[in-house]
Amino acid sequence: MNSFHTEKEQTLLGVGASPGIVIGRALMIRVDGPARKINLRDTDVAAEQDRFRQAVNRTEENLRHTRQEFAAVIAEHITIIDSHILMLRDGMLFDRTLEIIEKEKVNAEWALEQSLSRIKEIFSKVNDSYIRERFLDVRQVAEQIFTELAGTDKFPHEIDEKVILVSRDFSPADILHMQGLSGFISEGGGETSHSAIVARTLGIPAVVGLKDVTRQVGNGDLLILDGITGRVIINPQPELIEQYRERQRQYLSYSKDIARFALFRPETLDGLSVRVQANIELVEEVSQALEYGACGIGLFRSEYLYLKENGLPDEEMLFEAYRNLLSHAAPLPVTIRALDIGGDKHFPVQQEELSGRFHEKSSRYSEANPALGLRAIRYLLHEPSVFVTQLRAMLRASTFGELRILFPLISAYCELEKVKKMVSEVQESLRNEGIPFSENVQFGVMIEVPSAVALADNLAHEVDFFSIGTNDLIQYALAIDRSNEHVAHMYESLHPAVLRMIRHVAEAGHRAGIEVGICGEMAGNTMYLPILLGLGLDFFSMHPLAIPYVKRMIRNSTAEELEELAEDLLVYPSASQIRNHLQEYLFSHYPEEFPRL
């Protein structure tokens, strides 16, 4: 029993990572505390390095065994296990840990902890939350090494299939061994984490991102796990248990119907067609996106290619990645976002040769407020060699499919002019070199800041499409930092100012004859879909697994009604009024997706 544990009913809200409703008893999985530092004698250093190598070897052997055992089960996502195997020997993890053991004469656990902290620092400075979540994979790999170093098992040998597992985090390999279990909850993880992807593939309900859950839940507590809403209820009352049993029955019926909608056209009952696309970061994710019914790749995040310890990717490396991406997705369109990094989101290399100058990593750019500093398109215009390299690689790859290039964080007309000038210069350079590229590449801007909203009429005449990045737009419009626990609750997607901005951008784009879509988190949330459709957006880009659900709602909607809904909601001056009205609409028009409790 722990100090936070209570037998009273308590509701926790996390992230619904894998849908489903489970009622079962909690089984706590061992969670180790921080590594303890042990100073070594000179004569013990080599043996300690060998102990670390052997732990890594055993971890690799375990992962390869898992890969072989479950290859058929998660064939589409087996690269997730492959990526974990590769991470074991990554320089930032493996080499650096050995180096710390030798230089500081410390035990392997402490050295690995220091390496992990450094990697976390690097990933935390990337603007895109999806990329930041890739650190979870690194941490999960490290925790498997910690387990081998300790010589213990993470899971008990016998587990009752009716239990709900509770821990700080679960790796994809852990989840593969959970088949037949009811579900799991954890402190770490997010909707786009690889653990969440594996859980959804296997149909294991899960709620993640529950802060301090390992201190609030005790072994044997009765839990309700709602992987749809992200709720976990500890020690629920009998009446609530019965309500959730009815929801279990409703969800089972709904789930049997949803998969077939991946094959259907996203078209409303009165004939309005929109495009539903996928957000991805790896070429290997294209297959999954198409499997779930994506009409193309609406956002390919290119930042992951730059998170390497051994320097910036060169043109050939980028070209190969983009060529594979376009080839796999062809003939469907692919939108690649230009590098969205900068400010304190610097590259994890010791030195970088940019624009003919060397800059030490530690003193490169010191900014009091990096969110308002040199990031995204500002960074690329400040470091043209980085931008030109990426543009050349993207344009060269354009002959292998239908390419759309998206420029992030455009905040001024002059920025777009500079971008277009650089694009023209790169195109002319490729022509002079006799290097083929498509002349039909489309160019778009991400609308993420209020100034871009205000200038939407002007910007629309200079590009082929708009993509609204609601994550940043909400942050900048409301002056809210979602990572700041003191104000994060004020981050409100249904704020009337945000909705009016979206409407203004859609209207400005349509007046200029260009498409307007959305690629932020709002796009894949079915709660927001009716109002976004009503505001006139042409395409939605989201996590692949959300696509069948969104398609189903679109096909059960009437565009004319949703336009009226949007007009009604935009009259309200507060987010709470909008939310209440919208929820009533959802209850009455989409009872299967939004049953009343």
**519 belongs to the catalytic site:** yes
In angstroms, the CA 560 to CA 271 distance is 10
The first and second tokens of residue 196, run together, are 């969440």
Q: Are 416 and 463 in contact (CB under 8 A)?
A: yes
Residue 533 Cα distances to 143, 276, 574, angstroms: 43, 12, 20
In angstroms, the CA 125 to CA 111 distance is 22
Alpha-carbon torsion, ordered 206, 187, 448, 425, to 10 deg: -90
Alpha-carbon torsion, ordered 273, 279, 282, 285, to 10 deg: -50
357's CB contacts (< 8 A; 6+ apart) are none
In angstroms, the CA 522 to CA 262 distance is 20
Total residues found in the chain within this entry:
597
Query: What are the DSSP calls for 33-81, one per residue?
Result: -SPPP-B--GGGHHHHHHHHHHHHHHHHHHHHHHHHHHTTTTGGGHHHH
SS3 sequence of 288-337: HHHHCCCCCEEEEECHHHHCCCCCCCCHHHHHHHHHHHHHHHCCCEEEEE
The first and second tokens of residue 471, run together, are 């994550």
In angstroms, the CA 374 to CA 395 distance is 25
Helix, strand, coil distribution of the chain in percent, nearest 5:
50, 15, 35
Alpha-helical regions (H) of 444-574: 450-454, 456-460, 470-478, 496-511, 529-534, 547-555, 559-569
**295 belongs to the catalytic site:** no
Among 194, 328, 346, 495, the active-site one is 194
Residue 339's closest CA among 414, 405, 286? Answer: 405
Provide the phi-psi class of 159: left if phi over 0, else alpha when psi is between -120 and 50, else beta. beta
Among 328, 346, 495, 519, the active-site one is 519
Q: What is the DSSP-derived secondary structure letter of residue 106?
A: B
In angstroms, the CA 522 to CA 471 distance is 8
Tokens 């008893």 -> residue: 25
Tokens 């390299």 -> residue: 389
In angstroms, the CA 413 to CA 477 distance is 19
512's CB contacts (< 8 A; 6+ apart) are 457, 460, 461
Q: Are 261 and 293 in contact (CB under 8 A)?
A: yes
Q: Are 337 and 370 in contact (CB under 8 A)?
A: no
Tell me if residue 171 falls in helix, strand or coil.
Answer: coil
Alpha-carbon torsion, ordered 445, 446, 452, 458, to 10 deg: 20
Backbone angles phi, psi at 351, to 5 degrees: -145, 150
Q: Could you give the residue numbers annotated as active site?
A: 194, 519
